[in-house]
């Protein structure tokens, strides 16, 4: 019986080629992809327009800098306008205020004292005004302010109070010269001015202690020159006086009559009042400073 050939003899079975491993077909290696840079042609119109735009911006900036207004040129006309504008808007002191400020440090209060009947206390005999004309403490005042006083005291503008002595008199002009025994450290003497160029109508300022109140200032004008005045008692006549209308009352005696520059042209000495009232009605008299300077021994102007 024939057996089914399940197995073939190697010599008789057909030879089967040896199996080879399967090889997959290879893909070519892929290179990384980059966006291609496009070359811009110099004839590209977009490049031309960009250049035109840039030049336009630069030109606009240049024109803007060139046309921008620079700082205004300083001229004399501009300076004059600025000064005039300041003078129109600024509040400046009046001439009388400036004159008062200039003379104030040199004005003193003068008080003459006498002893009481029992001799125990000093009593005010008269109150007047004086003006320092030498910074060593030499003061001009009226003779009638200190005449008969046993003690004389002066009070300076800074409040310093001291005694003083009479060192000279000029009775014909009702003048007395005082020497203060103490003076302020910053003593300022008044500036004296000749009356040679003084004219009626010139503004003047009278500074003093009317009725002991002050220092007080009153302004007016020179009313006349070379006037003559006789005292109400008829005991004395003075000549070559300056007549003025700045208010003056008892206590102004011996005070300075000054110009608007604060310079002394006279020493207030008397007022005219037809009545027996010792009050001002518009006419005052001052001794010219030339006469007053002679009383101190100062050379005339």
3-state secondary structure (DSSP) of residue 296: helix
Query: What phi-psi label fits residue 45: left (phi over 0), alpha (psi between -120 and 50 degrees) or beta?
Result: alpha
pTM: 0.69
What is the chain's mean pLDDT, rounded? 83
* Assigned CATH for 101-180: 2.40.10.10
CA 15 – CA 43 distance, rounded (Å): 76
Lowest mean pLDDT among 106-110, 256-260, 277-281: 277-281
Hey, which residues does 229 pair with through a beta bridge? 238
User: Do the domains 101-180 and 203-296 sit in the same CATH topology, yes or no?
Assistant: yes
Mean pLDDT for 199-210 is: 97
Given a cut of 50, is residue 7 above it in pLDDT?
A: no
Which residues participate in catalysis according to the annotation?
A: 144, 174, 253
Q: Which residue has the tokens 């000279």?
A: 168
pLDDT by residue (tens digit) across 130-165?
Answer: 999 999 999 999 999 999 999 999 999 999 999 999
The residues spanned by each domain of the chain are: 101-180, 203-296
CA 141 – CA 112 distance, rounded (Å): 12
Residue 299: the pLDDT is 63
The fold of 203-296 is Thrombin, subunit H (2.40.10)
Residue, of 15 and 4, whose pLDDT is higher: 15
CA 263 – CA 177 distance, rounded (Å): 19
- Give 112-177 as a DSSP string: EEEE-TTSSSEEEEEEEEEEEEETTTEEEEEHHHHTT-SEEEEE-TTS-EEEEEEEEEEGGGTEEE
C-alpha distance from residue 87 to each of 77, 84, 93, 98, 102 (Å) = 15, 5, 11, 16, 22
Residue 134: the pLDDT is 93
CA 110 – CA 132 distance, rounded (Å): 11
Lowest mean pLDDT among 58-62, 81-85, 189-193: 58-62
Given a cut of 90, is residue 31 above it in pLDDT?
A: no
């Amino acid at each position: 019986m024939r057996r089914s050939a399940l197995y073939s003899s190697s010599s008789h079975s057909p030879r089967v080629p040896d199996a080879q491993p399967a090889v997959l077909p290879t893909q070519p290696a892929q290179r990384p992809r980059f966006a291609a840079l496009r070359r811009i042609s110099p004839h590209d119109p977009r490049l031309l327009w960009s250049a035109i735009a840039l030049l336009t911006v630069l030109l606009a900036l240049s024109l803007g800098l060139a046309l921008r207004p620079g700082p205004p040129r300083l001229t004399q006309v501009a300076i004059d306008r600025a000064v005039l504008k300041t003078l129109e808007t600024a509040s400046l002191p009046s001439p009388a205020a400036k004159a008062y400020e200039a003379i104030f440090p040199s004005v003193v209060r003068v008080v003459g004292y006498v002893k009481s009947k029992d001799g125990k206390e000093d009593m005010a005999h008269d109150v007047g005004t004086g003006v320092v004309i030498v910074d060593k403490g030499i003061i001009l005042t009226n003779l009638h302010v200190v005449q008969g006083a046993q003690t004389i005291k002066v009070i300076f503008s800074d409040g310093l109070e001291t005694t003083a002595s009479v060192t000279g008199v000029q009775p014909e002009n009702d003048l007395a010269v005082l020497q203060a025994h103490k003076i302020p450290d910053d003593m300022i003497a008044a500036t004296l001015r000749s009356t040679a160029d003084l004219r009626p109508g010139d503004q003047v300022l009278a500074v003093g202690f009317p009725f002991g109140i002050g220092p007080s200032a009153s302004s007016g004008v020179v009313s006349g020159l070379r006037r003559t005045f006789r005292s109400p008692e008829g005991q004395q006549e003075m000549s070559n006086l300056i007549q003025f209308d700045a208010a003056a009352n008892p206590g102004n005696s011996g005070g300075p009559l000054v110009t608007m520059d604060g310079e002394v042209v006279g020493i207030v000495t008397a007022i005219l009042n037809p009545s027996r009232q010792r009050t001002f009605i518009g006419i005052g008299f001052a001794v010219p400073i030339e006469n007053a300077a002679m009383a101190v021994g100062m050379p005339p102007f």
